[in-house]
Amino acid sequence: MLAYPELAAIRLGYGLSPLSSPPADPEALVAAIRTAGPDGDAFSVARDHLPHRSRFSDLNRSTAPDKDAQVQALRDIVRDIGARAPRIRMARAVGDAGGFGERLVQFWADHFTVTDGSVFDVVTAAAFVDEAIRPHLMGRFADLMVAAETHPRMITYLDQVTSIGPNSPAGKTGRGVNENLAREMIELHSLGAGSGYGQRDVRQLALLLTGLTFRPNRDGASFYNWNWAEPGSFEVLGKTYRRDRRKDEIREVIEDLAAHDATARHIARKLAVHFVSDDPPDSLVQRLAQAFRDSRGDLPTLYLVLAEAPELRDCFRQKLRQPFDYVVAALRGCGFAQADIMALEERAFRNLLLGGMFVMGQKWGSPRGPDGWPEDASAWATAQGLAGRIDWAMRMLPKLRPDLPDPRAFMQAALGDSASDALRWAVPKAESPAEGLAVILASPDFNRR
Identify whether the C-beta of residue 363 lies closer than 8 Å to the C-beta of residue 334: no
Name the nearest CA neighbour of 186 among 177, 174, 195: 195
pLDDT in tens, 356-388: 999 999 999 999 999 999 999 999 999 999 999
Q: What is the SS3 assignment for 367? A: coil
DSSP output for 384-413: HHHHHHHHIIIIIHHHH-SSPPPHHHHHHH
Q: What are the backbone angles phi and psi of residue 220, rounded to the nearest 5°?
A: 100, -5
Q: What does the angle CA 241 – CA 243 – CA 245 come to, to the nearest 5 degrees?
A: 130
Who's near 287: CB < 8 A, 6+ residues apart?
Answer: 268, 305, 309
In our burial notation (b when 16+ CB lie closer than 10 A, e otherwise), range 107-137 reads bbbbbbbbbbeebbbbbbbbbbbbbbbbebb
Q: How far apart are the first and last CA of the chain?
A: 16
Name the nearest CA neighbour of 20 among 99, 81, 89: 99
Identify whether the C-beta of residue 274 lies closer than 8 Å to the C-beta of residue 306: no
pLDDT in tens, 375-429: 999 999 999 999 999 999 999 999 998 888 999 999 999 999 999 999 999 999 9
Helix intervals (H) in 61-118: 67-95, 100-111
Q: Which amino acid is at 212?
A: L
Question: 407 to each of 264, 290, 320, 426, how far by Cα in Å?
Answer: 44, 44, 22, 11
Q: Are strands 239-242 and 233-236 parallel, antiparallel or unpaired?
A: antiparallel
- Helix (H) / strand (E) containing 358: helix 355-360
Distance CA 448, CA 425 (A): 19
Per-residue pLDDT of the chain (449 residues; tens, 9 = 90+): 899 999 999 999 999 999 999 999 999 999 999 999 999 999 999 898 888 888 887 887 878 888 888 889 888 899 999 999 999 999 999 999 989 999 999 999 999 999 988 899 999 999 999 999 999 999 999 999 999 999 999 999 999 999 999 999 998 777 799 999 999 999 999 999 999 999 999 999 999 999 999 877 566 567 788 899 999 999 999 999 998 876 799 999 999 999 999 999 999 999 999 999 999 999 999 999 999 999 999 999 999 999 999 999 999 999 999 999 999 999 999 999 999 999 999 999 999 999 999 999 999 999 999 999 999 999 999 999 999 999 999 999 999 988 889 999 999 999 999 999 999 999 999 988 889 999 999 999 999 99
Identify whether the C-beta of residue 267 lies closer than 8 Å to the C-beta of residue 258: no
Question: 57 to each of 220, 377, 402, how far by Cα in Å?
Answer: 15, 44, 46
Distance CA 47, CA 81 (A): 11
Burial class (CB in 10 A: 0-12, 13-18, 19+), 38: middle
Distance CA 371, CA 320 (A): 19
